Amino acid sequence: MPEVRHSVCALDCPDCCSVLVTVENGRATRLRGNPGHPVTRGFLCGKVARYLDREYSPDRLLYPLRRTGAKGKGRFERISWDEALISITEELRSISDRFGPEAILPYSYAGTMGYLNGSGMDRRFFHRLGASRLDRTICSAAGSAGLAQTLGIRCGTEPEQFRESKLIIAWGANIHGTNVHLWPFIVEARRKGARLYVIDPIRTRTAELADRHFTIYPGSDLALAFGMAHVIIAENLCDRDYVERYTSGFESLSRRASEYAPERAASLTGLAAEDIRQFAREYATTRPAAIRLNYGMQRSERGGAAVRAIATLPALTGSWRDPGGGLQLTTSGAFQVDRDALEMPGLQAASPLAREARAVNMARLGEALTVLDNPPVKGLVVYNSNPAAIAPNQSLVLRGLQREDLFTVVLEQFQTDTADYADIVLPVTTFLEHTDLYFAYGHYYLQLARPALEPPGETKSNFEIFRLLAERLGFEEQAFHETEDDVIRAVLSGSKGAVRGITLEQLEAEHFVRLRFAGNGDAFLPFANGGFGSQDGKCNLSMENLDYVPPEESRLGEESIRRRYPLELVSSKNDDSMNSTFGHRGFVDEQTSVLWMHPADASERGIEPGEQVRVFNGRGSCLLKARITDGVRTGVVRAPSVRWVKRSPGGKGINVLTSDRLTDIGGGPVFYSCLVQVERCGD
């Protein structure tokens, strides 16, 4: 008899879907979205609807492996768990003894979003070890910092409320591709007359389906936000009452915005001055109007400031008052679980270091592996991430991973590019096979998943692996004896705000639980009556010292660079994959092997459709196939990303081109501030 079990999609996606797994004779036969979940609403995205091909792929890693060939060549032999754990603990101990524990660096991101397997037992382990801490900046650091400066807390409009909106703005947000569970609410709103506007340099699927598409120059959003504020303030379209009661720094914003008349904003953004004027008026006078800001626009040099400025707009217009108004970049700040109980930073005191370890910015991995000293990185433990493919300045990253004196452990489901460089590979479970607790960054439901399937082969969860490593290293603290349920209980019982009162038992029974906002059941309006996360509870509009300077690598940037590399490369997300996670699928490989080019840019270079082109800049070059399309404006090229390096010609992926410069605030990478040149490439 088929049985239906509950799970949660653990991928790095705002939707955090509630998943139903049909199991027959111990084998999953179907995955579908839980119809009972208010945001998942019975469907999954295309990439996860077919996740069972990954779950049961013959390429799944099932046994621990030890490297037998040169680094990067991917030659391994099977070993036992015992052998694997012995060599890892011996190496880590020896590195710690010789160089100090900070010579060990964990490297992880959101391969799974689960608390336990993403930032639970692993953190405890590395804290107790005294390893370097990792500053996890690779995705959202600039935007998070910007949002925190304006709102004081990282939360925003509930997705369900978008159905009430009359004007929806997708700002650097490819909703249809990367956040598809918001889409039905937008469809509903549009049926009732709402308009959808998109601000994106690329004509994405979302832009194609929109009422208007503003093809902004990459990295110029700050100028647009100031231009809009200019019109709103100059034309007296502010909600004066809201501004007076719930904001601070209006004068400062007003002064700054006064310098950005639509004509100036137009010259900086590539939009028409009249369009900016009309758009600002429409935004300020349409109620409710919601902005879905996503992280696309903060992967640029001024990304933090841009988010900071955009986030002032709903306060200026008082849009936070309206169900269906406001802005959503993320909802994650509302999940105030007890992080200390989860990660136990206090364990660092018991480490040989006996103090807080240094922090290493993950966006500068190449530098960390080749330049960093005192101590140098001698041991690298990678999990929930594939840095060989996804980290910027790939040549430097690969040079680091190549080092013979670097001991690398990779916990993986598949033999990724990074796993090819490992000394030891450990096979891990998928989200269908382990317990975890999940927050979301695109809705307000906390969720629990129990294993729906047996772990295949000798796979183990991250949680279990780090506990075993702790045991082998003789760490005796209670922290390493806790079960998954112990940790979940601890994390919940110390939680604050809207998580307070949610229990494991409730999650067990209901699978997903809406955060307990005051007036639960009603629409959650985070800032309808102020209540911002800042010291004074106000929305911080102050824009002192904030001015728009075009990214160095952009069409208005540093002349000496753009003369040689005149095209702005946007290597944004591929609709049918998840960063590099589905790079093993043939059709994903195809989709991520192309470069979108405007017909004018192509013909200027004599490039024909489908032709192989060399894309290059001062950092390196990679080969892609030209897709000639007016889906990009002249001067912009787009590479849907991220392709596996080992499937890319010459072993050079897109991130050979991206720089490891950091954003204005937050220390994030600037993936989308990247100038390149493109040329025909005979064969």
* Residue ranges binding Mo ion (CB under 5 A): 139
Is residue 293 a contact partner of residue 307, using CB atoms and an 8 Å limit?
A: yes
d(CA 614, CA 597): 13
Min separation Cβ 44 and ligand SF4, Å: 4
Which does residue 393 bind out of ligand MGD, ligand SF4, Mo ion, none, counting CB within 5 to 8 angstroms by kind? none
Min separation Cβ 426 and ligand MGD, Å: 8
Considering only 16, 198, 315, 469, the residue that binds ligand SF4 (CB under 6 A) is: 16
Which does residue 144 bind out of ligand SF4, Mo ion, ligand MGD, none, counting CB within 5 to 8 angstroms by kind? none
User: Is residue 428 close enough to count as binding ligand MGD by CB under 6 A?
Assistant: yes
Q: Which residues contact 223 (CB under 8 A, 6 or more apart)?
A: 260, 264, 265, 268, 269, 548
ω into residue 375 within 30 of 0, thus cis? yes
User: Cβ closer to Mo ion: 139 or 169?
Assistant: 139
d(CA 51, CA 577): 11
For the residues of 430-484, what is the DSSP string, one character each? -TTSS-EEE--SSSSEEEEE---SPPPTT-B-HHHHHHHHHHHTT--SGGGT--H
Residues 47-106 that bind ligand SF4 (CB under 6 A): 47-48
Strand residues in 215-318 grouped as ranges (E): 247-248, 289-293
Give the binding-site size for ligand MGD (rule: CB under 6 A): 59
Residues 174-193 that bind ligand SF4 (CB under 6 A): 180-181
User: Is residue 18 close enough to count as binding ligand MGD by CB under 6 A?
Assistant: no
Is residue 21 a contact partner of residue 452, using CB atoms and an 8 Å limit?
A: yes
Question: In Å, how far are 44, 168, 363, 391 from 177, measured between CA atoms?
Answer: 12, 16, 24, 22
Q: Which residues contact 470 (CB under 8 A, 6 or more apart)?
A: 121, 124, 125, 128, 480
Give the closest residue to 548 by CA, choosing from 256, 117, 246: 256
Min separation Cβ 364 and ligand SF4, Å: 28
Which does residue 116 bind out of ligand MGD, ligand SF4, Mo ion, none, counting CB within 5 to 8 angstroms by kind? none
User: Is residue 9 close enough to count as binding ligand SF4 by CB under 6 A?
Assistant: yes
Min separation Cβ 13 and ligand MGD, Å: 4
Give the closest residue to 166 by CA, choosing from 2, 292, 288: 288
Residues in the chain: 683
What are residue 248's phi and psi, to 5 degrees?
Answer: -130, 155
- Of 252-260, 373-381, 540-548, 564-572, which segment contacts ligand MGD by CB under 6 A? 564-572
Beta bridge partners of 196: 168
Contact map string, positions 633 to 652, toward ligand MGD, x by CB under 6 A: --------xx----------
Which does residue 319 bind out of Mo ion, ligand MGD, ligand SF4, none, counting CB within 5 to 8 angstroms by kind? none
In the chain, the amino acid numbered 660 is: D
- Of 172-180, 183-191, 445-453, 608-616, which segment contacts ligand MGD by CB under 6 A? 172-180
- The separation between the first and the last C-alpha atoms of the chain, rounded to the nearest angstrom, is 56
Considering only 13, 365, 409, 528, the residue that binds ligand SF4 (CB under 6 A) is: 13
- Of 45-53, 58-66, 81-89, 505-513, which segment contacts ligand SF4 by CB under 6 A? 45-53
User: Cβ closer to ligand SF4: 49 or 273?
Assistant: 49
Considering only 157, 269, 415, 462, the residue that binds ligand MGD (CB under 6 A) is: 462
Min separation Cβ 228 and ligand SF4, Å: 30
Min separation Cβ 214 and Mo ion, Å: 23
Min separation Cβ 393 and Mo ion, Å: 18
Which does residue 44 bind out of ligand MGD, Mo ion, ligand SF4, none, counting CB within 5 to 8 angstroms by kind? ligand SF4
Burial label for 191, CB within 10 Å (0-12, 13-18, 19+), is exposed
- The strands making up 167-171's β-sheet, listed across from edge to edge, are 212-214, 195-199, 167-171, 289-293, 327-328
User: Is residue 178 close enough to count as binding ligand MGD by CB under 6 A?
Assistant: yes
- Of 8-16, 200-208, 281-289, 477-485, which segment contacts ligand SF4 by CB under 6 A? 8-16
Angle at which helices 141-151 and 303-310 cross, to 10°: 30
User: Is residue 11 close enough to count as binding ligand SF4 by CB under 6 A?
Assistant: yes
In what helix (H) or strand (E) does residue 365 lie, and over which residues does it extend? helix 365-370
Which does residue 137 bind out of ligand MGD, Mo ion, ligand SF4, none, counting CB within 5 to 8 angstroms by kind? none
Interface positions with ligand SF4 (CB under 6 A): 9, 11, 13, 15-17, 44-45, 47-48, 180-181
Interface positions with ligand MGD (CB under 6 A): 12-13, 109-112, 117, 138-139, 171-174, 177-178, 199-202, 204, 216, 218-219, 221, 294-297, 300, 383-386, 390, 411-414, 416, 428, 462, 570-575, 577-581, 641-642, 654-655, 658, 671-672
